[in-house]
A and B are shown apart, each in its own frame.
Chain A
Amino acid sequence: MTDVVATNQTILVVGGGISGMTAAIEAAECGKQVVLVEKSPTLGGRTALLYRYFPKLCHPTCGLEINLRRIKSSRNIRVLTLAEVSAISGKRGDYSATIKIAPRYVNEHCTACGACADAVAAEVPNPFNYGLSKMKAAYLPHVMAYPQRYVLDASLIGTPEADKAKASCKYGAIDLAMQPETIEVRAGAVIWATGWQPYDAAKIQPYGYDRFANVITSLEFERLADPHGPTGGKILRPSDGKEAKNVAFIQCAGSRDENHLRHCSRICCMASLKQTQYVKEAWGAGAKSTVYYIDIRAIDRFEDFYQKVQNDPTVSFLKSKVAKVTQDKSGDVVLHGVDTEGYHRYANAHDMAVLAIGMQPSVAGVDIPAEIIADSSGFIESSAAESGFFGAGCATNALDVNRAVQSSTAAALRAIQVINQVARAEA
């Protein structure tokens, strides 16, 4: 049984991505008790699956290392993974959350020695590579995973493979009988840092994501560029493994579109500008990136980066919302449209097209507590007055990492205000 000591002076943070981790850490370093709930087996969220950040082109795992160290060294944070808030009741200053914890089939004895992975042959699609590769069914999500503890994929349970895994563990860490558990956690305030999910690219029919292998999303492209991705960091196109040197970036894939997402997802322009530099990093002068855009939204100091990329001879820009994508016999994708600056019709062939896919809140379609007011896109706009619920990060708006962290830090303060009120009242 997972024991969590929590009171009405505890802050519950839902979501263990960079926003949730930030909110939890900042609150904890102000001396508050925090319970951090993450539905996947590891903290880190989407940023852990990015190769580099714009505009510095530094690595997200660099900040993740620091944040994990802060979490490890803090005695105020209790982390629950594979856990989801299934119900929540009460009021500001006194909530009770029902948390469902899925079985990991690996207990705290795990030393992350990896013997179980060696023992197991079965493989499953790797969600941390968006299914672009397979991984052992006994796995450590990724090399920076925290908790640093293996997971047995549920599909193993009841198979001889599971027994092999169990047999391989000297430390009695594998518990095949582990059951889903439900726990109640008290909290004075709740921070919803449930993050975002990519818009379903297949719904953008003219771009043929569901028909052409060489049309991929910007998130998948991050994995292609990442040394820990499915191609070991080589930018190879999916259909035939050909080196993708001529890459098209299609902006507003789902965003700014009444047929899909009404809002602008803010990060996509910068993400594509950044990704043009991956192509350059991979192929040098032989690289060719073309950005098809409506407006390049490189806001504030990001403009510096935009100007840098504009001066990069391997990158060209075309003001045009691509009308449709086809695939020719060679497997190249052909983009059809019109450059609206002047009037220039094009049918451009590229090795691969990357959809700068729009951002929608993870809670889209999910029931969120009535206390939370969401906008038409499903982002948490605000909470009812006198609520102890606070949105943080991309759950509240389409934000870049920097702004998501600001938002989470602010959310942490709002939560602390509730806790301090409770404390004063009880003092």
Chain B
Amino acid sequence: MAKREYAFYPGCSSQLRGSAANYLVSVESMCEKLDVKMTQIPDWNCCGASISYAGSSELARHVLSARNFALSDKHLPGQDIVATCAACWLGGRETIEKLDASSQLMADTNEALKEAGLEYKSGTAIRHMVEVLVEDLGYEELGKPVVKPLDGVKVAGYVGCQTNRPFGIAGESFENPMYLDKLIDTVGGESIAKYEEKVSCCGGSLAFCEQEKAEKQIKNIVESAYDHGADVICTPCPLCQANVEVYQSEINRKQGTKLNMPVVYYSQLLSVAYGGTLKEAGLDGHIIQPKKLQEIAVKVVGRR
């Protein structure tokens, strides 16, 4: 019997061999160490993300989220839903907010859901993995399982947008949220207090369609990390991770820069610090290798 149980909504990118597959892996090993049990919502569907607005309608997007909620209620009653993807979490939060605010929208949503033989009753809570860590467990408890403190690893905590705005993590500010830095410090790493690009946007899904514009953003995000002597950038968002890591080579190609800044998830930091292997920490899932972390991961520590 695990200490804590949650209904898990991994989202599309975290699926096997998805662009954030290593995120999932690291989250799983991290949760294991923290004695947190995550049960995937059976037959969950895509949240629609923020980008689907042209083809869809507001209602259709609510229907997508509501279906997941309904399934969660049905199969994992009473459990908070945990999302690891910023967009999934945000979309879910918005659906809950809007439906609670409008009985009309709620009725319409359920009228549609009926077609799938489901019903959504309000009262669902959807949380981001980070909320579970800092609110339910707390930094102190997160520090306990650390067996390999990330000594001498300088980490730029890149929060980005959607875990930060418009909802954000309770008690954090939009302009200067501290939770990533606190997480980094908790596992013995060195956070960068004055990381200017902490909350700027990487271009999000527009990296696909407005690549040049996104690359401008990404360049700043990476260069600012270099300016502060970071070894690695750490983020809570799969899209941020993918964009900032993947496009560095493109930027180098076009602009002759030599960007080579690894980008990892907070869950990977924790996983490594908790003694996770390369594989467990998903450190084998990078285009730009986070060497310092990998070294720590392979390092054998004596029993304590």
**Chain A residues packing against B (C-beta within 8 Å):** 205-206, 208, 211, 324, 326
Contacts and interface: CB of A to CB of B under 8 A. Distances in A.
B175 A205 contact: yes
A324 B176 CA distance: 12
B173 interface: yes
A205 B176 CA distance: 8
Contacts of A324: 175
B172 to A, nearest CB: 10
B174 interface: yes
Given A205-B173, A205-B176, A208-B176, 8 more contacts: A205-B174, A205-B175, A206-B174, A206-B175, A208-B175, A211-B176, A324-B175, A326-B196
Nearest to B174: A205
Nearest to A211: B176
B251 to A, nearest CB: 22
Nearest to A259: B174
Interface string B161-175: 000000000000111
A210 to B, nearest CB: 8
Contacts of B173: 205
11 contacts: A205-B173, A205-B174, A205-B175, A205-B176, A206-B174, A206-B175, A208-B175, A208-B176, A211-B176, A324-B175, A326-B196
B45 to A, nearest CB: 34
A205 B174 CA distance: 7
A326 B176 CA distance: 12
Contacts of B175: 205-206, 208, 324
Nearest to A208: B175
Contacts of B196: 326
B124 to A, nearest CB: 27
B173, B175, B176, B196, most chain A CB atoms within 10 A: B175
A220 to B, nearest CB: 21
10 closest cross-chain pairs (CB), A and B: A205-B175, A205-B173, A206-B175, A205-B174, A211-B176, A326-B196, A205-B176, A208-B175, A324-B175, A206-B174
A135 to B, nearest CB: 32
Contacts of A206: 174-175
Tier of interface size on chain B = under 10
Contacts, number: 11
A330 to B, nearest CB: 15
Interface in B194-209: 196
Interface string B156-198: 0000000000000000011110000000000000000000100
A291 to B, nearest CB: 23
A339 B73 CA distance: 49
Contacts of A211: 176
Contacts of B176: 205, 208, 211
B107 to A, nearest CB: 29
Contacts of A326: 196
A200 to B, nearest CB: 12
A343 B176 CA distance: 28
Nearest to A325: B175
Contacts of B174: 205-206
A326 B196 CA distance: 8
A206 B176 CA distance: 9
Interface string B244-277: 0000000000000000000000000000000000
Nearest to A326: B196
A174 B173 CA distance: 47
Nearest to A205: B175
A257 to B, nearest CB: 14
A206 B174 CA distance: 8
A208 B174 CA distance: 11
Contacts of A208: 175-176
Nearest to B193: A211
Nearest to B227: A329
Nearest to B194: A211
A250 to B, nearest CB: 15
B188 to A, nearest CB: 26
A205 B173 CA distance: 7
B59 to A, nearest CB: 27
A326 B224 CA distance: 14
A324 B196 CA distance: 12
A205, A324, A326, most chain B CB atoms within 10 A: A205
Nearest to B177: A205
B177 to A, nearest CB: 10
A208 B199 CA distance: 14
A205 B175 CA distance: 6
B9 to A, nearest CB: 30
A334 to B, nearest CB: 11
A206 B200 CA distance: 12
A206 B196 CA distance: 12
Nearest to B175: A205
Nearest to B196: A326
A211 B195 CA distance: 12
A294 B287 CA distance: 48
B236 to A, nearest CB: 19
A326 B175 CA distance: 11
Nearest to B173: A205
Nearest to A329: B227
A205 B198 CA distance: 14
A289 B173 CA distance: 30
B216 to A, nearest CB: 15
A208 B173 CA distance: 11
A154 B110 CA distance: 64
A324 B199 CA distance: 12
A319 to B, nearest CB: 23
B272 to A, nearest CB: 31
A91 B175 CA distance: 49
B29 to A, nearest CB: 35
Interface string B96-115: 00000000000000000000
A46 B173 CA distance: 30
Nearest to A206: B175
B168 to A, nearest CB: 11
